[in-house]
Amino acid sequence: MDINFTNQLAVSLSQSIIIVIAAAVIGAIVAGGFGVYRDYKKEKILGKQKKLQAYGQLVGVKNMLLHSCILYFNAQMQAVGASCRSEIDTYFHRLNGVDEFSIEEWRSGSTNFIIACEERNKVTMMGLELAKADERFWRTISQIQIFFSHMPQVPDRISLIHQAQRPIETYNLHSYTFVAKLQDEVIALPRTIVDGDEERGFIGVPPKIVQEWSIDKQAEIDEILTSDTRNLQALHEALESKIDGLLDYIKPEVEKSYRITPNPGNNGSIRCVPET
């Protein structure tokens, strides 16, 4: 009798231990599963937030990059245009017999010379700002590549941005070659050597020809700068369209979790509201 009781007690204790162990194991599995699920949800939320952040940053750096491009090339064209006009004025004075000392003295205080110096300083500053904007832009593109790597067209659309930006980076203002042509044109101007003719130019170019040449050159530089402006505007629009193409492509992925609307004020920024 005592043996049977002992056996039953042992069996009962064994069953209790098994139940306790099983409960602990099941509890650990449930707790672990809940932890995995919680981590999964947390990672999913973070992933959505990172996508939204990358998308918003791309909108911001796009506007910064394009604005910096405009400021940089505007400063360049203002500087080159003023330099060209200053050179034309200098040749005009020289051809009309003004001595070099007087020309340099006049030139240093002329409006076009002062504007050229100021705009060259702006070119330097805007160049630094453009470099910063470009660095931030491509850093953001790297984030887009990571967070939207599952979208098959992302690499091709980024490649299109590279292709659209390259002509802007390598663009040379046509007005840069203008000053170099002036000296050759001056040499080619017709000379008339007439003794006693007080109205003739210092080196034999008649004042009327000098006047006409100066007017023609002023008009020519205006046309060249207008052409440069049109070319750069077209390149600027092409780059903007490729960036917008990438934004439009990844936008539906972001809108799975957030509703994207333009900010009031039409300044290019966006507002993101979580979907309920």
Rg (CA), the chain: 37
Q: Residue 130: what pLDDT?
A: 94
- Interhelix angle 111-147/154-169, rounded to 10 degrees, is 170
* Relative orientation angle of helices 2-95 and 207-254, to the nearest 10 degrees: 170
Structure tokens at 191: 């000379």
- Residue 195 has, within 13 A of its CA and on its CB side, a CA count of 0
pLDDT in the model for residue 235: 94
Question: Tokens at residue 206, please?
Answer: 């008649």
d(C-alpha 110, C-alpha 203), whole Å: 24
pLDDT value of residue 41? 46
Task: State residue 154's pLDDT score.
Answer: 95
Taking only the tens place, the pLDDT of each residue in 150-167 is: 999 999 999 999 999 999
For residue 29, what are its two tokens? 């599995």
pTM: 0.71
Q: Return the C-alpha torsion angle 69, 127, 54, 233, nearest 10.
A: 10
Q: For 128-154, what is each residue's pLDDT tens digit?
A: 999 999 999 999 999 999 999 999 999
Q: Following CA atoms 216, 217, 220, 225 in sequence, which dihedral angle do they give, to the nearest 10 degrees?
A: -150
pLDDT value at residue 101: 78
pLDDT at 255: 83
SS3 content of the chain, % helix, strand, coil (to 5): 80, 5, 15
- For every one of its 276 residues, what pLDDT tens digit does the chain have, with 9 covering 90 and above? 455 545 554 555 565 555 555 555 555 555 554 444 444 444 455 567 888 889 999 999 999 999 999 999 989 888 888 888 888 888 777 776 777 778 788 778 888 888 888 888 999 999 999 999 999 999 999 999 999 999 999 999 999 999 999 999 888 777 777 777 776 777 676 655 444 445 544 445 677 777 888 888 889 888 988 999 999 999 999 999 999 999 999 999 888 765 555 665 555 555 545 554
